[in-house]
Structure 1
Amino acid sequence: MGDNGATALDPIVAGVALSHLAAVNEVAPGPRSKRSAILDTAVTKFGADGFESTKWSTIADEVGIGQTALYHYFESKAHCLLTIIRLELAQSYQRFCRSSQAGSTTGEEIEAVLESVFDVSTKAIIQTRIVMANSDVLAAPRNSEREETERLACLELTREIENAWVQLFRRHYEETGSDHDPVLVARAVLGLFNSVWRWYRPDGPLSLKNVSAFYRESARRIIE
């Protein structure tokens, strides 16, 4: 798909529409497709036990298929991990794109975007924890073409997400006459928010509502 297909809500990333990158199924699934079930099970197991400690065969057993059948959908456990990372990054970018359309001023847009960071499901939280815990998988090229395609898409999504925050802050500072550096601010805010998912547990003592309020206020102090 070329750039002519891009819209504010569905930009082109790595030559592909964001909506495609955020979709669990690459094509319309058949009634017997196990792709979604494999991904859901992998998210649960990787989130609970860690990627390295989860056996590929365990995922097959949980889904109720033979291990060989897994390779119809994913070349390896690493391929599955990279797909999960790509899905979470793409869905995160979608949330940013949708929320950044709100408001008549950049200040209102920023408030909507900050709120959207924490307007997530338990599954999305677990997926983000997986991203944070396994980001080193993106560091080196993969030997498999399909794994490398996923890795490159993840890297491009990471760049696009950061750039989207930078551009929002740049417009805000132009609008308000501030001399803050939008790149430094974007990286500081993203680092702040990413740190949440390294320790936060949906079943822990702190509610997401309270965590959201604290971190959004902290982000405002960085931004302003």
Structure 2
Amino acid sequence: MKLKSVEIYDFKSISYEKLEIQSNQLCLVGKNESGKSSIISAISYLNILETELDTSLLNKGSERYPKGLPIIIGTFKLNKSVYSKLYKLVSEYLSKEDLASLTKQSENCLLQLKRWGNGISNVSLSILSSGKFGLKLSDKINELAKFYDSFFKDIYPDIEYFENEDLLIEPSTIEELLGTDNKFETFRKLLFIGGCKDFNDLNNSDIGFVTTYLSNIETQLNKIFKKHYKQDQSINI
């Protein structure tokens, strides 16, 4: 599942913005204080379980100021395997009539999550077909808390937000990467961006496998870096 677009209402300096995401990497360019960081920060609030909206984030020009909260809407493209898992999950909660309204194929299907507050009562989830509302799952499922527990655990993508990071690379063991020491956080994040989703994958006695694995991460990091940093193409990670 990949984020295809995000709509932002009344978040910090943004009154309204819709951002279409066309590729695996997105680079925002603009003057200082033009809202680049606010867009990325707003996207991070699509991480429902780890973030909490508060009134300090509300745009001061909003009609809902000072007591309202921003609204963030994320629309995700579903691949075949993810849609299959989602269809299987919702089939446990939907009536036969509602389930019949859903296509069994993932083609042209999107998943839209809308957040306007904190907790599952302030989140809506819809399956879209060809850009139109196909089914608003959050209105059709009775055991919503139970459904969301499985949905966010097994289907929803991980969304991480890194800000004001100290770029500090320390040599580390697998155990240290799997730990919580902040000294290795930059290393963890670089490995993750390069494609390492589980540090246990590095815990392999086959040195040839580990060398190739790390080489692939190196290649991916340099590909991303050179795509967005045009000032000096001689720099390698």
Give TM class, smaller chain: under 0.3
TM-score of the pair, normalised by structure 2: 0.22
TM-score of the pair, normalised by structure 1: 0.22
Higher helix share: 1
Higher strand share: 2
